[in-house]
Each structure stands twice: as C-alpha cells, then as structure tokens.
Chains A and B, each alone.
Chain A
C-alpha cells in the first residue's frame, strides 16, 4: 500500500494511518527513501559501523559482496561469455586479505598456458617456480625463473583445465603460491596432473591486482578469487 504524507490542517483517515504503519512495518522490509518512502536499491545500509545489529538471524543471505575477517568469501569472479586473453582483478589489498584462493576452470580454443602476475609486473624476471607433474606413467619435474608464474595448460579446442592456487599475499616476504592443476582434459582423458610451488620476489609492494593471461580464455571459462576480510 502507498505511504500517505499528512498535511497540516487536513483530516487524516484511520485507514491512511494504518496503511502507513503497514508500509514500513509489514511484510518484507525494503530499504526506503524519499518523502514517499519508496523502495530503493544499493543506497541505504542496515546498521552502520558505529551502530551494528547485535545478531542477524536469517534463512538465506544473498549478498553480492561479503566482508568478514573470519570467512572465505568471493572477492572477484569472472564467467567468460566471449573469448578474452586477459583477466584482471583489481582493488585488492594483499596486506589486509593476507591470503587468496584462486580457482580456474579454463577452456580454450588454442594451445595455451595460463600465466599469473601481480600488480602488472610482467616485464622483469621476478617469478620463480618449480613443478612436478605426471603424464600417463611418466613423472617429471622442472623449474623456471620467468616474467610470470605458469599455472596450467589448455592444450586444444575443447580441452579444459582445473586449477587451485593458494597465494600468500602479505608484504614483508616473497609472495608464495602453491598450485594444483589438471591440464588438457577432454572426454575421459586427462593429459597431465601438476603440482607447482612458486614465488614473486617483490616483497615490498602491496598486492593490489592479479592478472591472468592466456592465448585465450574460451566461453565457459570460470575464475573465482576468494579472500578473507
């Protein structure tokens, strides 16, 4: 029901008064603004940093962004609907979030590696990584010092990869990363399983962005970045 604004020296109907109470207190409680208390979106808060609700008890919480020190929450997500060669997550703070989990489901239309770099640092050899991997019955290892960290491989059209990374992001030490990746998978064949450990030798710059690069990330590629805080 609509909200009635009472006017000086004008008789108010009891129904209008009741409806005003119902408008603000009955049914789903929406954020409201303006003289007519119309529903709004993305403007008003529930509580504030100085005036918090003690407990919020709900069946379902649907939030685009969650910030909590003791919770792993999505900080950025990208579902690819048209091919791209670069994905960037910005607005990060590696010193407050401390650790990230990065998940990549990758599909490609070309043979490509997926590489990662921090804060756009891709021109100097600031990354070192070591890998052990198995391909059929062969187990091998390799190590590299490069301009980015290689996370996974997508071999060909229709092949996919799955990557899980743990990134230690705080300044003061080299930023370390652990990566498990399943590479070049299609049908019932997985070409390679890899475990990598690596680091970014920059120990003084706060991580503010993460870039991922490939020849292409194809449609249905899906990347999640989770962090704390």
Chain B
C-alpha cells in the first residue's frame, strides 16, 4: 500500500496511519527513501560501521559485490577462444590481503611450455625469485633462481594443467607466492607434480595480475578464478 504524507490541519483516517506502518514494516523489508518512502536500489545501508547489528539470521544471503572476512570470488573467466594470456585489472592489494587463484589451463599443442604470473605487468628480469621442487617420473629436482616472472603451471604436450596459487598480497612488503600444480595430464599420464614458491621484490600496491602461456596459448575451456580475502 502507498505511504500517506500527513498534512497540517488535515483530517487523517486511521486506516492511512495503519497503512503507513504496514508500508514500512510489513512484508518484504526494502530500502526506502524520499518523502513517499519509495523503494530504491543499492544506495542505503542496513547498519553501519559505528552502528552494527549484532547478528543477522537468514536462510539465503545473496551478495553482489563483496563480503569481508571470507574467500570471495572477485574475478573468473572461461576462455571461449584461444588466448596467450589472461589479465585481471582493477585490483587493489591495499584491501585484498590474500589472493587464491584456481587455474585449469588447456593446451592445444604438443609443445612443452610453462605458465607464468606477472604482478602489475612487471616483466623485468631479476625482479622475481623462486625456489621450485619438481617430481617427474622417478626423479625429484630442486631449482632456485631469479626470473622475469613466476612459474605457476606447465605443459608437456597436449594436456590439461591444474594450479592452485596462494599469494600474500598485502601492500607494504615483498609479495610471496606458493603454487602447486599438475604439470600437464592426459589420458592416464601425469607428466610432472610441482610446487613452486616465488617472491616479487616490490612493495607496491598490486593493481593487476596476468597469467600467461609462455610463447604459446591457452585454448577454449581454460578456466581461472581469482578469490580474495578482504
């Protein structure tokens, strides 16, 4: 029912008073503004930083933009065409304290290549360092070096590579990264099992992350999700 604005020296029916209360609090509880208490979208708050509700009890919580203190999906994409890289921009590590990237990459060639990650487009040689462990067949090897990016996946032939990448991203210190990845799998063969750790020698605010197929491409159905803890 509509909201009645009361007027000075004008007789008001009790039904209109009751309807005003019902308008505000009966049924679905919507955000309202203006003299007529019209419902509006994405403008008003339920509580505020200084005046919080103690507990919220609900069956379903649908959130469009962000939830604090959980792993929250901030970006995701599935390729519908071949691409040499996937870049996520508009990030802000002043707010995003950690990222977790889930990558399922598909290769369409028989080439052997790696998947790299860059922060803020920085591809300067020796701005990154890594320590890596690789298990391939019966051999286990370790490698330490500096590089122009950090390896977070690899392919041996036409296959699928799966990576789980944790980044401590909070602005102020060097960025640390741990990546676990299956280096290409096809049929009943897993080519390598890898764990890599990386460091980006910069304390700048992270504004973008780029995942690149080095000198090659990802094909359709490559899927990547970026989760952030804010």
Contact = CB atoms under 8 A, between A and B. Distances in A.
Interface of A: 13-15, 17-18, 21-22, 24-31, 39-49, 51-66, 68, 71-74, 77, 103, 105, 107, 132-139, 160-162, 164, 180-182, 185-193, 195, 220, 222, 224, 226
B173 A31 contact: no
Given A54-B60, A220-B172, A190 B23 contact: no
A28 B133 contact: no
B55 A45 contact: yes
A162 B58 contact: no
Contacts of B180: 180
Contact of A190 (B33, B60, B168, B197): B197
Nearest to A226: B71
B6 A41 contact: no
A60 B65 contact: yes
Given A25-B24, A180-B195, A188 B144 contact: no
A72 B42 CA distance: 26
A48 B57 contact: yes
A26 B37 contact: yes
B56 A14 contact: no
A62 B130 CA distance: 36
B67 interface: yes
A105 B170 contact: yes
B92 interface: no
A30 B58 CA distance: 17
Interface string B126-151: 11111111000000111110100000
A162 B177 contact: yes
B70 A72 contact: yes
Contact of A134 (B46, B71, B128, B131): B131
Given A14-B7, A27-B44, A195 B58 contact: no
Interface residues on B, range: 35 or more
A21 B3 CA distance: 10
B207 interface: no
B37 A137 contact: no
B117 interface: no
A46, A73, A181 — which one has the most chain B CB atoms within 10 A of its CB? A46
Given A29-B31, A182-B178, A63 B67 contact: yes
Contact of A137 (B70, B141, B166, B174): B141
B69 interface: yes
B138 to A, nearest CB: 13
Given A164-B178, A186-B174, A195 B195 contact: yes
B69 A65 contact: yes
Given A60-B63, A134-B133, A135-B142, 8 more contacts: A17-B17, A28-B44, A54-B58, A58-B63, A59-B42, A64-B52, A66-B69, A134-B131
A47 B141 CA distance: 57
Contacts of B128: 188
A31 B142 contact: no
Contacts of A58: 46, 61-64
30 contacts: A18-B35, A21-B21, A21-B24, A21-B37, A25-B37, A29-B45, A30-B47, A30-B48, A30-B51, A31-B53, A44-B53, A46-B47, A54-B60, A58-B46, A59-B42, A59-B65, A61-B61, A61-B66, A62-B67, A73-B70, A105-B168, A134-B144, A135-B142, A137-B143, A138-B142, A162-B177, A164-B166, A180-B178, A182-B178, A185-B174
A190 B44 contact: no
Given A51-B57, A180-B178, A14 B67 contact: no
Nearest to A57: B62
A134 B144 CA distance: 9
B44 A31 contact: no
B71 to A, nearest CB: 5
